Amino acid sequence: MSTLLFSPPPLRHSSVLSFLIVLCLFFCPLSSSLEFPVNVWPKPTTFLWPHPQATFLSHNFTITFPQHRYHKHLFSAINRYRHLVLSEHHQPLVTPVIHPSPTSLPLYTLHITVSDLTAPLQHGVDESYNLTIPTTASMATLTAETAWGAMRGLETFSQLVWGYPSMVAVGLQIQDKPIFPHRGVLLDTSRNYYPVRDILRTIEALSANKLNVFHWHITDSQSFPLLLPSEPNLADKGSYGPEMQYSPEDVKKIVNFGLEHGVRVLPEIDTPGHTGSWAGAYPEIVACANMFWWPAGVKWADRFASEPGCGQLNPLNPKTFQVVGNVIKDVLSLFPEQFYHAGSDEVIPGCWKTDPAIRSFLSNDGNLSQLLEKFVNSTLPFIVSRNRTAVYWEDVLLDDNIRVAPSVLPPERAIMQTWNGGPDNTKRLVSAGYRTIVSSSDYYYLDCGHGGFVGNDSQYDQPQGTSHGKGGSWCAPFKTWQTIYDYDITFGLNEKESELVLGGEVALWSEQADATVLDGRLWPRAAAMGEALWSGNRDNKGKKRYAEATDRLNEWRHRMVQRGVNAEPIQPLWCARNTGMCNTVNSSYS
């Protein structure tokens, strides 16, 4: 057995202040509605702590792992978490009341055992773990089937340490595993650019919330920021500038950072729609490029795009598939992730109809759905041949105007991601046999409720005193953490259909977001989904636990801020200091 060493910061044991803090840790009075004085987010599936007690964390604390078993990503996590628990000294919003264990020694060691170190980070990997911190021994144990489960357990352990000098909960047992294997956040880096450092911080926060997928919506009509070796002109002419591009080295750094934190990086290159940014390099393969998105006097049904930024790849031009093939090949070489998101949402009829070759095709009894089928038939085999699973937005099957037949995209060959229609569209997909990722805009779109970004919008010019409707935001209102936490992504499904729901993703589309607001838009709302998908939003009696979740999320948000994530507050500090006083005991305000 080898010990991973990291030099901890010195502790001032002689400090009178430290002594007083310790006294308060044990004896300060507090009335709390929480089940335990110290909690973990997301709530573990089984948390047994019959007699809450605590002991000191030794300033020589180590995390050990058998020397003959090496896993570079787990070793990186072990060193990271050892440093965290020794240096964080989290000060809770309300000091926990925990009796000292009269028989406890300081906790010196956390020993990790992993059954299978060869399991890759991929969809469905075992993330379960067991954590035991005894009352009478100086060593805690963490067992897991895989390195990725051990990382989840390390995060849980870190949240059971607090104070200065550091205290740790003892006399507890945790058995934990997720309900859903796919738990993610989508970030759009095309509408506005996000520096690499902000993406890394987001991935770190994902891991802390036991979320395991960073869905990277890299490109769109507004910009093409990904620098690809085979097609460098796409970024050179389609990005916002050389300082707003992601190089292959950047991608490698982000992917490796994800591996070190147990987070898969899932790339999305949206095609054939949302490709106006490709026209800088290849104007001949993009229909309606650089055209005004919704000309004056034109009906909405005949628009060229659903928002400013026009362009759709032309499936009738052979060069389209040469370029798309190069793009897919490069992306698959940069990202080891087994899922490849091919987009295929919002293919707008009016855009394709501007192209003379397409108009000729239509005049000879062709239709627009055949064009989409041609595109899918030309690109899906390329993706599958490279041992990837293709993910598509639901539009490819469910759009009212342009869609492919299920025979073109059978359930065994693709995964669907739903964003419209709430539970109804989820039902439509899974009842047809499709594995589905849920990102319902009614619940999981984090950009909603911030107004619109289109200028010269007459809908704001309303007589005073009249309703302003959704305030310019198509998907208003704002999706609160409570709305997100309360959503049951398998609502209305039978057992067989529920098994096809892989999980969910909250989505931050970036028309009105960039790095300056990133943390607040994501957190703690993404954390709310994290718990709902990890251990559920109900207690062991089947009752929704949003009430007690408020206090736990309030504390977790506070800890995230201390860790460098600028999460939004969910209550005034007064509420935490006056337990229960901010609750309502009535069923409504009427």
Measured CA to CA, the distance from residue 415 to residue 530 in angstroms comes to 21
Q: For the beta carbon of residue 108, count every other beta carbon within 10 angstroms.
A: 17
Phi/psi class of residue 124: alpha, beta or left (left: φ > 0; alpha: ψ in -120 to 50)? left
Tokens of 30: 């507090």
Under a CB-based contact definition with an 8 Å cutoff, are residues 266 and 217 in contact? no
Does a cis peptide bond (omega within 30 degrees of 0) precede residue 272?
yes
DSSP states of 380-442: HHHHHHTT-EEEEETHHHH-SSS---TTTS-GGGEEEEE-SSHHHHHHHHHHTT-EEEE--TT
Q: Greatest CA span in the chain, whole angstroms? A: 88
Instruction: Specify which residues 502 forms β-bridges with.
Output: none
Under a CB-based contact definition with an 8 Å cutoff, are residues 333 and 383 in contact? no
Active site residue 155: no
- Residues near 428 by Cβ (< 8 Å), separated by ≥ 6? 398, 421
Backbone angles phi, psi at 502, to 5 degrees: -75, -25
- Residues near 118 by Cβ (< 8 Å), separated by ≥ 6? none
Backbone angles phi, psi at 356, to 5 degrees: -60, -40
Find the catalytic residue in 346, 373, 531, 555: 346
Backbone angles phi, psi at 385, to 5 degrees: -65, -20
Strand 213-219 relative to strand 389-393, pairing: unpaired
Tokens of 218: 């890299």
Measured CA to CA, the distance from residue 262 to residue 37 in angstroms comes to 28
User: In terms of C-beta density within 10 A (0-12 exposed, 13-18 middle, 19 or more buried), how is residue 176 classed?
Assistant: buried
Tokens of 438: 């849920």
Residue 442's alpha-carbon distances to 28, 156, 298, 424, 576, in angstroms, are 43, 31, 28, 12, 30
Give the relative orientation of helices 248-260 and 72-87 as an angle to the nearest 10 degrees: 70
- Residues near 411 by Cβ (< 8 Å), separated by ≥ 6? 432, 433, 434, 435
**Catalytic residue numbers, as ranges:** 346
